[in-house]
Structure 1
Amino acid sequence: MPVVRSRARVNERNDMLDLPLFVREEALCAQVDPDLWFEVNDDLMKEAVSICHQCPVMAECRQFSIDHRVYYGVWGGMTGPQRRRKYRIREEDDETFDQVA
């Protein structure tokens, strides 16, 4: 399984290149070791989230990660598990909306 995790991290890092240029230029994460954003250590993950909460483009980054269903790493002040929970809620909301419509 470590190979899959490594491949996933590479793919997530490549996703960062898809962020709009203005977001990448202003993002605080660009000034820090990229490995910090894909940490599994809780203390380091909290450090990454803390940096995000000070970032001027946190909202844009978070929305990008949600729109593109980025499952790994810290994006927009949210961890992977937090985003996955949000996706489930969003999918359930979509199903409920479809049933009502």
Structure 2
Amino acid sequence: MSGWRDKAACRDMDPDLFFPTTSSEERLALKACAQCPAICECARYAAEHDRINGYPLQGVWGGVNRTRRRNRNE
């Protein structure tokens, strides 16, 4: 990794946190993002990459969930 990912708060967290299945889990992920020094870069990456390795971008990125990202792009 390099750049913004090196300073991302999530780099040492369980990745499952950012793929929530309930609203309370999503709130925890968003709280982690809110305290991250790389939140803007992460959100920009998610906005510019709707797919990773051919698969749709999933989960919470840069304090934004998949539904909000999709609505922003419409």
TM range (shorter): 0.7 to 0.9
CA RMSD, Structure 1 to Structure 2 (Å): 1.3
Equivalent in the alignment of 2:9: 28
2:21 to 4, 18, 40: 40
Please give the alpha-carbon distance, in whole angstroms, between the structure 1 residues aligned to 2:70 and 2:27: 17
Q: Structure 2 counterpart of 1:28, which letter?
A: A
2:63 to 74, 77, 83: 77
User: After TM superposition, which residue ranges in structure 1, 4 or more long, deviate above 4 angstroms?
Assistant: none
2:32 to 51, 67, 84: 51
Structure 2, unpaired ranges of 5+: 52-56
- State the identity %: 33
Judging by fraction of residues, say which structure has more helix.
Answer: 1
TM-score (norm 2): 0.85
Structure 1, unpaired ranges of 5+: 1-19, 89-101
Corresponding pairs, count: 69
Is the aligned partner of 1:60 residue 2:41? Answer: yes
Judging by fraction of residues, say which structure has more strand.
Answer: 2
Please give the alpha-carbon distance, in whole angstroms, between the structure 2 residues aligned to 1:45 and 1:32: 14
TM-score (norm 1): 0.64
Structure with bigger RCO (C-alpha 8 Å, 6+ apart): 2
Max radius of gyration: which structure? Answer: 1
